[in-house]
Structure formats: C-alpha cells, structure tokens
Structure 1
Amino acid sequence: MYGERSGWQRDGFESHEGTVGVLLADGSEPGPVFFDLGSGATFHESSDWWHYDGTFHRPTAVTMRGRCACGWRGTKTYPIDWETVREDDDPDAYDTTGPYAEWKAHLDEVAGRAVALPEDLTALLGQVRERLDRLWLEEDPACGYAAVLRACGELEAIVAETGPEAARALAYEQEESMPAVAEALGMTEKAARARLLHYEYLGR
C-alpha cells in the first residue's frame, strides 16, 4: 500500500474513513495546516500528511500512523523520510503500508462488533447487486437503463416500508445508548444519528 490522496474506505463502513496521521517530535498530533489562497479572508485547510514537511513555517512531522474518522489512532508509528518524499515529488509513491495495515485491523474489529446480517440475506443482496450490474450488458442500452431504474424503485419501496419502523424502534429502545447503536451499525455516532433520522422520517 502506497500513499493515497484519498482516504481508505470499506464498503458498509464509510464513516470509518482512514487516513495517514502524523506526529511531531514532541509526540503531539498537529492541527490542520492553512493555506492562503490569495482571496481575502478565505483560507484552505488540510490534514494531509505530506503537508507537514516544515516548509512555509508549517509543522514538521517526524512519524506517521494510522488514523480513523471515528477518533481511533494507531499505536505503532513509522518514521517519515522527507528526503525521499521530496525526491519522488509524489506522496502517492511513499510507502504507507504500516498505517494502512493498522487501520485495516481496526476496521476488522469494527466489523466484528457490528450486527451481522443473516447469511441468506447477505447472499441475496449480493445477487441483486450482481444482477443489476449484468443488466447493463444484457439489454439494449435504453431497456437496460429502464430496467435498472425499475429495480431501484422496487428496492426503494421496500426500504420506505421497513426502514422507518426499524429506525424508530431502534431509536426508542436505545435512546440512552447511542454508542451501542453506532457499534451495532458499524458507524461513528454522528453517522448513526444521521442514519436513524434519515430512515425515521423517510417518506414523510
């Protein structure tokens, strides 16, 4: 795994996006760096690891580690060789295997604590996705597009019928335990609250 300018994600756990985090020489995690784009009071901020190279008075990171949007941080740190980064002039060429591996292990734990779908339902959902993918190739383009949209309509009808009831029941039963809801859904608490609200009021 080499440096990626976009974060790391896993299907079904998108709110647990992973990135490379950095630490300064004193062991602290720096805040975002700011860029003056020359447009008055408008500043761009970034937490991308390669911006902490000490240039333009920015903080200089000495090590990197895995980081997740949920607040998790990896326990292992990996030195940053800024000479190599500058020579390659391409952050994507720098090896971030270590931080990625730790984030992946963290996601395995998140997935292990989430409520597991029944095997037959998991298989059915996979078949639906695979069948929709094949529709593009099997049908006349116009018919294929229409068939996919009809299928999407059927799926939306199922969601609109079952989602709100499940969301309201879960919100009621777990009113004082949002962390437990988030863990069961494999999401951050912020994402879990948004998911409950989305389905609770779906169709209203």
Structure 2
Amino acid sequence: MVGARALDPVAHGYHGSKKGERETWTTGEFGSSHAGAVGVLLADGTVPAPVVFLSSSGSDSRSVSEWTVYDGEPHGGPRAAVLRGVCSCGWTGPGHTIDWDEIADREAKVAGGGLASACYGDWDTHIGEVARSAVPVPETINGLLDQLDQEIEKVGKDAPLAAVRAVRRLEVLAAQCAYGPAREVAQDLTPEQAAAAIGLNEEEARRHLARLGCFSLYC
C-alpha cells in the first residue's frame, strides 16, 4: 500500500460476532469489508466453534474465538494446531504450526505471539493486494494527499484548532467533489462492479456511494 499507510493506519479492536469475540484488524479505507484476525485450525483441519464462558452466576455468557483460548486446558477450548490469518472477505493465509512442546508452561499469548504476528503480516500482505487490485488513484492525487497529511500533522502540533478547521474544510470539499461521481458510478455500474473497483464488499460499497451521492439505499 505505497503512499496509503500514513493515511490509512491499521486499527486494532475486539470484535464480537456470530463467530465469537476476538481481536480484529481493520484499515480506514477498507473497514469491515476486509477485517482481519488470527484464525485457528485443530489437528484434524477443522475450525473450532467459539468457546462459551459462563458468568459466575450462570445467568450470562460470552462467546469467544480469540486464538489464545484454544489451549486445550479445562477452562478453554480444544488445543489449536495451526494459526492462520483470516479476513472477513473469505481470504485465508498460510498456516503456522504451533509447537506446544516449545510453548510448554508459558502463557499461550506470550509464547505464541510470534505466530500471531506472522498471521498479521500475512493479512497485511493481503490488504496490499486488495489495494493494488482496486481502481488506481492518480499519482498526482496520491502525492497531494500525502503532502496534505504531513502538513496537517505539523499544524496540529502547534495549532490544533487550525488543524481541526482544516480537516473540517476537507470534509466539506470531499462531500462536494464526491457527489457527482458517486451518483454516476451508482447509475452506470452494478454494486458488484463498484465493490470490486473500490475494494469493499457489495453492501459497504452501496452504503458508501449512497452517503457520498446523498441518495437513499432503498430507491
């Protein structure tokens, strides 16, 4: 993602879904369309179900699929054999085998941290491929955006209010510039075509265009 990383830092969060709560990675540009995480495979090659943790009263529960709970201990889930990067788009990265003999009695999160980092690296490579497969942004605009990012960061250190106003003007400019193109794309392309071109899933692409073009999703 040459020229994009400074504008689009990776955010780490703890996300809950039907697949269970776990740490996820997203970028500002691709968001939930390409949310990454550490996935788990058991020795038989299957993906384990989320581990359910009951509250002390037994009246509430949490469903967790964070890789560290698959340690084979009584309080956790079945022992993981392989870690791999996964993405909400369906992409899966190469497997990284866990050596439990090497981990021994150490905490899995600490001992297996290197493998988890490798999964993140694989996902980051995938995000680079997503960016390269999307419609290219002219280098003149990329250069201006990078310069603008640097200048606003500088101003923010000495005059934060001026930086805030500058960002507000950017928001207004973005809305004005995007209105016509967003409507044209929505009219000329299918949601599938638009999604592929901007690196989002179809639902997010439709929402993105509707927001920029100020039209209803339900028209």
Aligned to 1:34: 52
TM-score, normalised to structure 2, is 0.74
3-state SS of paired residue (2:105): helix
Q: Report the counterpart of residue 199 of structure 2 in structure 1.
A: 186
For residues 115-126 of structure 1, what are the structure 2 equivalents within 5 Å? 115-126=135-146
Partner of 1:99: 119
Paired with 2:119 and 2:184, the residues of 1 have a C-alpha distance of 38
Are the counterparts in 2 of residues 50 and 91 from structure 1 also a CA contact under 8 Å?
yes
Deviation at 1:93, TM superposition (A): 4.4
State yes or no: 1:60 paired with 2:75.
no
Task: Tell me how far 1:63 sits from its aligned partner.
Answer: 1.2
Report the RMSD for the aligned CA atoms in angstroms.
2.6
Question: Is 2:208 the counterpart of 1:195?
Answer: yes
SS in 2 for 1:124: helix
Q: Higher mean Cα deviation, 7-16 or 100-109?
A: 7-16
Write the deviation string for residues 43-72 of structure 1: whole angstroms up to 9, x where unpaired. 222221111122336233211112112111
Provide structure 1 residue ranges, at least 5 long, that are not aligned to the other structure: 139-143
Task: Give the C-alpha shift of residue 180 in structure 1.
Answer: 2.6
1:172, distance to aligned residue in structure 2 (A): 1.8
Distance (whole Å) between structure 1 residues aligned to residue 56 and residue 204 of structure 2: 35
Which residue identity is paired with 1:63? Answer: V
Mapped pair 1:70 → 2:89: yes
2:99 to 81, 100, 122: 81
Could you tell me which of 21, 24, 31 is aligned with 1:7? 24
- Structure 2 residue runs without a partner (length 5+): 1-12, 15-22
1:53 touches 1:82 (CA, 8 Å); kept in 2?
Answer: no
Change (3 A) 1:42 1:130: same
Q: Residue 34 of structure 1: SS of its match in structure 2? A: strand
Percent identity (aligned): 35
Asked whether the equivalents of residues 110 and 183 of structure 1 are also in contact (C-alpha less than 8 Å), the reply is no
Residue 157 and residue 10 in structure 1: after superposition, are their counterparts in 2 closer, same or farther (change >3 A)?
closer
Question: Per-residue deviation at 1:21?
Answer: 0.8
Structure with greater helix share of residues: 1
Q: In 1, distance between residues paired with 2:60 and 2:99?
A: 32
Contact 2:131–2:199, Cα closer than 8 Å, also in 1: yes
Shift of 1:183: 2.1
By relative contact order (CA 8 Å, sep 6+), the higher-ranking structure is 1
What CA distance in whole angstroms lies between the structure 2 residues aligned with 1:125 and 1:180?
26
With normalisation by structure 1, the TM-score equals 0.79
